[in-house]
Homo-oligomer: A and B are copies of this chain.
Amino acid sequence: MPTINRQVRLAARPSGLPTASDWELTTETVPAPGPGQFVVAVSHLSVDPAMRGWMNAGASYIPPVEIGAVMRAGAIGQVTVSEHPGFAAGDWVYGAFGVQEYAISDGAGVLTLDTALAPPTTYLGALGMTGLTAYFALLDVGKIRAGETVVVSAAAGAVGSVAGQIAKLKGCRAIGIAGGAEKCRALVQDLGFDAAIDYKSGNLRRALRELAPGGVDVYLDNVGGDVLDAVLTRLARGARVIISGAVSQYNADQVRGPANYLMLLVARASMTGMVVFDYADRFPQATAELARWYRDGQITSREHVVHGGIGDFPDTLLRLFAGENTGKLILALDRG
């Protein structure tokens, strides 16, 4: 009895926000795994801002998703059948399985999850690429030091919510920028940020002046646009700005550069791009450290889980750009 695999494929390259016509739903049967292969029943899809960039043509930090291909996605699931010595039926695994119900894999880039330590979805959150991005961004690129002021944008988002917690446990002052009072409340009360700024209400530059009177030492930017420009005016001498993404710009036809970039000169500051995949050889060590912090209660993982079928992926992606999530946005696949 063949297994039916429903998939979401990229049908066209969007202009601005993706619409229904940019996607195609297809159905295939899952082949039996050959030697060295196994089949994964995908249970949860990672829904990331970076996905919008992968839909564009042209070279970026990874190749674009081809038209007609299954949409790229990090995902977790359980092995159903295995002809691979390293993976057994029932194993929980993480990999770039794509937006589909089943994936066949040879194990390359696939991690086995310790579900005794944390529930599977946490491996899309604090113990997954999300947590690793925050980890390497602040510790390797930002080189945060105790006593410094660390500002994080999209702070209620997947990476930001972990980043603020890492800043705190390293002895920094953590200030989050997020949209909406409830997100700001959660940052301070649930995640331990020292302060949060609602960029939708009031003057961001003034708030930064009040909350970081000595200036911003490290800024993790995931949004670009006006927020980046505002923080640039408040950099401390020798500040490090880490460019990890630019969610405000991904759907723009014309990216707007930071008009205040000359503040890098005034502050003798740096702005550096980082891509988490570059640190792959250090994932095991970093994941172990994140897991220790998680187990000891020093960081918590916020996951925003939406339940639906594979066909709900396009709408779930749009939620991200509407800023509806607090924590890591995940689509949990309910099988009908």
Interface size of A in residues (CB-CB distance below 8 Å): 33
Tell me, yes or no, whether A319 is within 8 Å of chain B by CB. no
Contact call A261/B264, Cβ cutoff below 8 A: no
Q: A243-B265, A275-B265 are in contact. Are A259 and B255 (CB under 8 A)?
A: yes
Using CB atoms, name the residue of chain B closest to A263.
B273
- Copies of this chain, whole number: 2
Contact of A249 among B60, B245, B262 (CB under 8 A): B262
Contact call A275/B268, Cβ cutoff below 8 A: yes
Q: Hey, which chain B residues are within 8 Å of A189, CB to CB?
A: none
Contact call B265/A269, Cβ cutoff below 8 A: no
Interface residues of A in 250-272 (CB under 8 A from B): 254-272
Q: Hey, which chain B residues are within 8 Å of A261, CB to CB?
A: 224, 243, 255, 257-258, 261, 271
When chains A and B are docked, how far (Å) is the Cα of A249 from the Cα of B273?
24
Chain A contact residues: helix, strand, loop or mixed? loop
Q: Hey, which chain B residues are within 8 Å of A229, CB to CB?
A: 257
Q: A257-B261, A262-B255 are in contact. Are A271 and B270 (CB under 8 A)?
A: yes
Q: Hey, which chain B residues are within 8 Å of A254, CB to CB?
A: 259
Q: Could you mark each residue 289-305 of chain A with 1 if its beta carbon is under 8 Å from any beta carbon of chain B, else 0?
A: 00000000000000000
Q: A254-B259, A257-B256, A258-B258 are in contact. Are A264 and B268 (CB under 8 A)?
A: no
Contacts A258-B261, A265-B273, A268-B273 known; 20 new A-B pairs at CB < 8 A? A60-B266, A61-B265, A61-B266, A224-B262, A243-B264, A244-B265, A249-B262, A254-B259, A255-B260, A256-B257, A257-B260, A258-B258, A261-B271, A262-B273, A265-B275, A266-B273, A268-B275, A269-B273, A270-B273, A271-B272
Task: Give the B-binding residues of A (Cβ under 8 A).
Answer: 59-61, 224, 229, 243-246, 249, 254-275, 278
